[in-house]
Amino acid sequence: MKKRFKFLMGASLFFVTAQGQLLPKFSVANDTTWYYVQFKNGSGTISDPGTGKKLITAQKSSQSNQMWALIGNQNDFVMKSKTGHYLSFSGGFYTSATQGEPMKLITSPNSNYPDSWELQRKNGTSSMNQWEGAGIGKYLGEYTAGDMNNPLHFVATTTQLPKFSTENNETWFFIKFCENGNTIQDEGIGKASVLAHPDPIDEQLWKLVGDENSFQLVNKAGHYAYVSGTDGSDAARLKTQSEKWNGSFRLYTTDYAAYSPAWEIHVNGNKQRPALNQWMGAQTGNEIGLWQASDKNNPLYFIEPADMVYADYKVEGIEGYKPEHDLTLWYTQPTTLTSAADKWMEYSLPIGNGQFGASIFGGVLKEEVQFNEKTLWSGTNKDNGSEYGDYENFGSVYIESLGEEGFSYGDAHPVQDYYRQLDLTNATASVVYKSPDKSVTYTREYIASNPDQVVAMRLKASEPGKLSLRFTMESGKPGIKADTEYKDGYACFKGKLQIVSYNARLKVIPTGGHIETTDEGITVKAADEILVILGGGTDFDAYAPNYVSATSELEAKVLQKVDAAAQKGWEQLYEDHVADYGSLFGRVHLNLEGAKNNLPTDELIKKYAQRSTGTEDYALMLEALYFNYGRYLMLGSSRGVDLPSNLQGIWNNSSEPAWNGDIHANINVQMNYWPAEITNLSELHLPFINYITNMAMNHDEWKGYARDAGQTKGWTCYTENNIFGGVGSFMHNYVITNAWYCTHLWQHYRYTLDKEYLAKVFPTMWSASEFWLERLIKDSDGLYVCPQEFSPEHGPTEDGVAHAQQLVWDLLANTQKAAQILGTESGLNEEQLTLLSDRLKKLDKGLRIEKYTGAWGATLNGVKTGDPLLREWKESTYDAGQNGHRHMSHLMCIYPFSQVTATSPYFEAALNSLKLRGDASTGWSMGWKINLWARMQDGNHAHDILELALRHHSVAGGGIYYNLYDAHAPFQIDGNFGACAGIAEMLMQSHTDTIQILPALPEVWKNGSIEGLKAVGDFTVDVSWKELKPQTVHIVSNQGSPLYVSYPGIATATVYVNGKEIQAEWNDMNTLHIDAQKGDQIEIDCSKIVTQIAPITDSPNFSFDVQDNKVTVKGTEVQKVTVYDVEGKILLTTSNSCFALNHDASQMYLIQVTDKQGNTNARKLVLP
C-alpha cells in the first residue's frame, strides 16, 4: 500500500500521527527532492559535518548540511547531503564520505511512534540510532530495530503544490491535518464536516479545482465545500452543498514552526479567521471551523489514496452485542483506530497474574501485546537523589496479519462484527471479529496465569486453515536494550540492568498449517489454531543481600515455565487459571439492582456524563463495574514476589514512566492496599506487608535512612522508592512513612486475628516505634511532637504537624495493643513497655480546632466564617496551605484511621475541613474523598465524589480513561483502589469494632446487595437492601470474636444463629451484641425493624414473666409501659406492671419500660 508520494506534506515534529508516515520521494537525475531527516525522539535532524567526520544530530535549520536527498528506491538507496557528501558507515558510526552506503527504509516497529521510519544498511537488520540518548549533538550508531532512539521521519525542505484537477484529469487527496493525523470527512449536504480516521470513502477524498490562489474543494461524492457563518464567528463551519460555491479557498504556507513546511487552507476574503481549523481540538468527531493563521490545528497536507499508510483495516463494530458476564469492559473498535493521543493509557486492556502481565491493544492488521514484570527495575540500592531508576517496559509481542483474510482498508472488504473485551469474571481478554462475508469467525483469547506464571494466548478460526500470521517480539527500548533471537518456534531476548538480569521468551505452537522461523520472526500459515506462550522474569531476590540470586539459572527457569505451559495446552491452562482466579475474585459480589451492560465501555463513560437521576441502568453499571475493576486490578498486580504494586500496578509501556513508576510512600502505595482487607483479598496484602518487614529488618538501606535522620534506632524510608531500597530526592524530612507502613501490619491482624502473623511482624512495629520514641521532642505545652515534619504536599515545615502526630499516635497505640496481645512473646521488657505507655499518654494526638477566618471567601464549599476546622499545623493556620489541595493529610484521623468518629468533639471540625478542600481533584484524591465522606456517613456526598471520579479525564484532568484506569492525570492506579475501598465503606464499616450496616448508602442505590465483605474481627458480611433499608444481613464468624452489629432500630430485628432464632443482647436500639462462636452463621432479618423509637442507652434492668397473653414486668417499679409492634405502631400504654396483649402466634413486640426514677429501657418480646 506504500508508494511514492508526489507532493509535499507537512509532518509532525513532536506528535504521533494516527495513521502512519508517508514514503519519501526518491530522487533521480534532474528531479531532486531535499528532506530534513528528523528523529522523533529529541527532534534532532541529521547533520553532515564534513567528509570523514561522524554524522551528528542538530537543531533543525535551513543550512544545506541538514538537507538530504534519497537516491534509489526504498530497499536500495544512498543519501546525499546538499553539501555534496554522502552518508556512509565506518567504525560503528555513520559518517560523511565521498561514497554512499547502500541503505533501506523499514517501518518502525516502535509502538510509541507508529507513523515513523527507521534507516538500516541495505544488508543489515540493525537501525540507525541516536547513540547514548536522544537530542541534539548525538552521534549516530546502530541498534536493534524498534529502539526509542531510532524512529524518524522526512520533512520536505520546501513546499510543493498539490496537483490541481481539471475536468479531464482528476487527482484525489485525503486532506490530513498534521496535529493528530485525522482527515476531513463530509457528513452530508448542509452538515458540518468533521475529523475522521483516514478511510478511502468518497466523503474523505477531495480534489482541488482551480489554482493555489482560488480553488474549489470537491469530494468524490460530488459535494462542494463551502464555509457557513461570518468571518470571526465561532459558528463558522466547513460544510458541503450540491452546487459550486460562490466563494473560494487558497493555499497558505503555514508559519507554525513545528509542522513547517506544510499548508493551510484559507478562505478568500476572510481577514479575522481565514484558516480551516480542527475546532476544539484534534480528536475524531470534532468539526472543522475557522481560526487565525498559523494555529497548531491548521497545518495539513494532501495525500493520494495509494500513499496512505493505515493503522489498521477498516473495522465494522458489532451491533446489538451484550457480554456474557455483566462485569466486562468491551469495545467495538481496536485501540489502533481510536483517536487517543496515548492509546496504551486510554484504551489498552490489562491482564496480570500479580507479578507478570500484559496490555492488549486488539489490532487486526497488527496486534500488540505489551508486557511487564514487577521486578524489572533499573537503578540501585545506592541511589539517593534525582535519579533512582525506573520501572521498565519489558517489551511487546506483535501478531501481524499476512493479509490472507481478505480485509481492506476501505469499505470494500471490512472486518465485520468486531469487538474486544476484558471479562472480569474470569480474567480473560479477548478479540473477536469476522471475515468480510462473515463466513469465518476469528477469536483471540489472552490470560495471565498465576498457576503457570505465563501469559497465554489462543488464536483460532471457525474454519480450518484460516490463520496466517507473523509473530515477533521486541524488548522495551530504550530502557531494555536487547536483540531478539528467533529459533525453532521461539523468540527470546535477555540482558542486564544495573542490578537485575532479565530474560523473556515466546513460544508459538500451531495446530495445523506449517511454521517457519527466520531472523524476521515466526511465521505460521494456514493453521487452524495457534497457542502462544509468553514468559519472562528477572533474577531479583527480595531476601538476598544484593537483591539477586540464581542468575545463571534464569534463562533455564523461563524456558521451563514456557515449555511446561505449552505442554499443558490451552484447555488445561485456562481451566486452572479460572479456578485460581475465581477462588479470590468470586468472594465478593456487588449487585446494584437495575444495572445493565448494554453499551461499549467508552460509550458507557460518555453516557454516564449525561445522566440525569443517577439511577439509570448504565450509571449503576459503570459504578458496579468500577468497584469490581479495582479488585480485578489488585489481583492482577499484588501476588507473587514480596513487592507492593507500584504507581501503575504492574502495567507500564514506557522506559520513563511518570514519577518513575515508583513505590510512592506518602499516600499512593498505601492507597493501593485499602481494598485488600475489606473486599476480602487479605492474602493480596501480604506482598506489601512482607516487603515492609523485609526492607525494615533484613536490609540496611532503611536503617541507614533512620541514621541519616539522626536516630540511632529503627528504620524509615522516604517518599520515592525503587525496589532495591534506593530513593529519590523529594522531601527527605518526611520520615513518617515508617509509622504509616506499620498501620498496614496492624490492620491485617485486625481482620485476620492471626497471632502467629502478629508475632512475626511485631519486631518491625517495635523498631519503628523505637525510632519515634527517640525522635519525639517535648513541646512547650508538655506534649511530645514530631520535629520538622510537613503535611503532604503543601504548606510549612514545623513541629507537631497533625499528619505526623496522628500517624505516630496510631503507631504507638497499635504497638501497645500488639504487645498486650502477645504478652511475653513481644520480647519487650518492663522498661520498654513503661516508656511506650508514657510517650503514648503524653503524645500530642494532632487534634486541635481553629476557626475559618474567611481568608478564602466568607463562605467556601459550605464552610462559613467562624466555623470550626481541624488544624493541619500546630502553629500555622489553615491558610498557610494551598486552597483546595489534593492531599487531606490532617484527616488521617477519619480515614484510614478511626481516631475521630461521629461522637468525637472533633467530628464537626474534621467535616468542615473536608468540605473546605472541595470535591473535584486528581483521580486518587477523589478516591480518598469517597472514603472520607463514607466515614462521615454521608452516602450522597460520597456518591457525588464517585460521580466526579468517573468523569473522563479530558473534562477536568482527574477522572478515568476509557479503559477505566484512574487518571491523576496521567494514569495512577491508586485512584482505582481508593474508589474500590470507598464503595465498600459506603456499604459496610467495622473500624470501630462494630459492624455498621449501610452506613453511607446513597439514595441512587435504592435496591441491591453486597456479598462477601470482610469486617474487623474476621467476619464475612453479606447485606441486601430494599428501598434504601436493609433486608437481611448474613454474617459468618470465622474466629468466634465478639460480634456487634449496628443499624438504626436493629435491636428490633429477628436474629438467627445457625438457623435457630435467638434473643440477641443489645445496649441500645441501634446495636446488637451476638455471642457467636467460631463458624457460626448469623442471619439478621431487618425487614421489619422499628426505626421510630429513640435509641436507648442503658442495659435493661427488668425481665418479663409471660403466662399465655399476660405479661408481668419484674425487677423494677413501673412508672409507664409502652408496647410497639414491629412497624413501630403503639399498641398499648399503661402504668401497670401487668397487662394483657392480643396477639397472633409468634408475634414480636418491643416493650419500653420507664421506672419510678425516670430511667427508660426496652426489650424485645416474642410471645409463643
Round to whole Å and give the CA distance between 547 and 499: 8
DSSP letter (8 states) at residue 66: G
411-435 core/surface letters (b: 16 or more CB in 10 A; e: else): eebbbbbbbbbbbbbbbbbbbbbbb
Q: How far apart are CA 191 and CA 186, in angstroms?
A: 8
**For the domain with range 653-846, which CATH number is right: 1.20.1090.10, 1.50.10.10, 3.30.70.120, 3.40.50.1980?**
1.50.10.10
Determine the pLDDT at residue 31.
82
Domain 1103-1166 has CATH 3.30.410: no
For residues 442 and 167, which has the higher predicted lDDT (pLDDT)?
Answer: 442
- DSSP for residue 89: E
What's the pLDDT score for residue 15? 27
Is residue 752 over pLDDT 70? yes
Instruction: Return the C-alpha cell found at 74.
Output: 526504498
pLDDT of residue 1168: 66
Least confident of 327-336, 996-1005, 1043-1052: 1043-1052
Secondary structure of 757-789 in the HEC alphabet?
A: HHHHHHHHHHHHHHHHHHHCEECCCCCEECCCE
Q: CATH 1.50.10.10 in the chain, residues?
A: 653-846
User: Cβ(82)–Cβ(65) under 8 Å?
Assistant: yes
Note the pLDDT tens digit of each residue in 567-612.
999 999 999 999 999 999 999 999 999 999 999 999 999 999 999 9
Q: Could you please report the per-residue DSSP string of 1-62?
A: ------S-----SSS--SS-PPPPPPBBTTB---EEEEETTT--EEE---TTSBPEEE---S
Where along the chain do the CATH 2.60.40.1180 domains lie? 1008-1085
- The CATH code of the domain at 35-156 is 2.80.10.50
Q: How far apart are CA 173 and CA 1045, in angstroms?
A: 71
CA–CA separation, 543 and 1159 (whole Å): 63
Of 726, 504, 681, 519, the C-alpha closest to 586 is: 681
Using an 8 Å Cβ cutoff, are 489 and 480 in contact? no
Q: What residue spans in the chain does CATH classification 2.80.10.50 cover?
A: 35-156, 174-307
For the chain, the straight-line distance linking the first and the last C-alpha, in angstroms and rounded, comes to 87
Residue 918, CA distances (Å) to 145, 216, 796 in order: 49, 53, 21
Q: Which of 366-380, 438-452, 574-588, 1149-1163 comes out lowest in average pLDDT? A: 1149-1163
Integer CA distances (angstroms), 348 to 486, 568, 650, 1156, in order: 27, 28, 14, 72
**Measured CA angle at 1077 (ends 1071, 1082), to 5 deg:** 55
Domain 174-307 in this protein, CATH class: mainly beta
pLDDT at 481: 87
Q: pLDDT category, 526, cuts 50, 70, 90?
A: very high
How far is the C-alpha of 256 from the C-alpha of 577, rounded, in Å? 53
More confident of the two residues 1128 and 169: 169
How far does CA 783 lie from the centroid of its chain? 42
Say if CB 1039 and CB 1075 are below 8 A apart.
no
Sign of CA dihedral 254, 259, 260, 261: negative
pLDDT exceeds cutoff 70 at 192: yes
Q: Mean pLDDT throughout 667-683?
A: 98
Q: What is the C-alpha separation between 809 and 815, in angstroms, rounded?
A: 10
Q: What is the mean pLDDT of residues 132-136?
A: 88
- What pLDDT score was predicted for residue 1123? 83
Is the pLDDT score of 1095 beyond 60? no
Answer for the pair 565, 450: CB distance below 8 angstroms, yes or no: no
Least confident of 13-22, 923-932, 1109-1118: 13-22
Is residue 281 very low, low, confident or very high in pLDDT (cuts 50, 70, 90)?
Answer: very high
User: Taking a C-beta distance cutoff of 8 angstroms, is the pair 121, 225 a contact?
Assistant: no
Q: How far apart (Å, rounded) are the C-alpha atoms in residues 791 and 121?
A: 57
Q: So what's the pLDDT on residue 1051?
A: 85
User: What share of the chain in percent tops pLDDT 70?
Assistant: 96
Q: pLDDT (tens digit, 9 = 90+) per residue, 483-511?
A: 999 999 999 999 999 999 999 999 999 99
| Helices 830-841 and 802-822, packing angle to 10 deg | 150
**Sign of the torsion angle spanned by Cα atoms 476, 480, 486, 492:** negative
pLDDT of residue 3: 25
- CATH number (3.40.50.300, 3.90.1150.200, 2.60.40.1180, 3.20.20.140) of 1008-1085 reads 2.60.40.1180
pLDDT at 4 over 60: no
Enclosing H/E stretch for 103:
strand 103-107
Task: For strands 777-778 and 784-785, give the pairing.
Answer: antiparallel
Per-residue pLDDT tens digits for 57-115 = 999 888 899 999 999 999 999 999 999 999 999 999 999 999 999 999 998 877 667 67
pLDDT at 896 over 90: yes
Domain 340-406+443-568 sits in CATH at: 2.70.98.50
The whole model's pTM is what?
A: 0.82
Contact 772, 782 (CB under 8 A): no
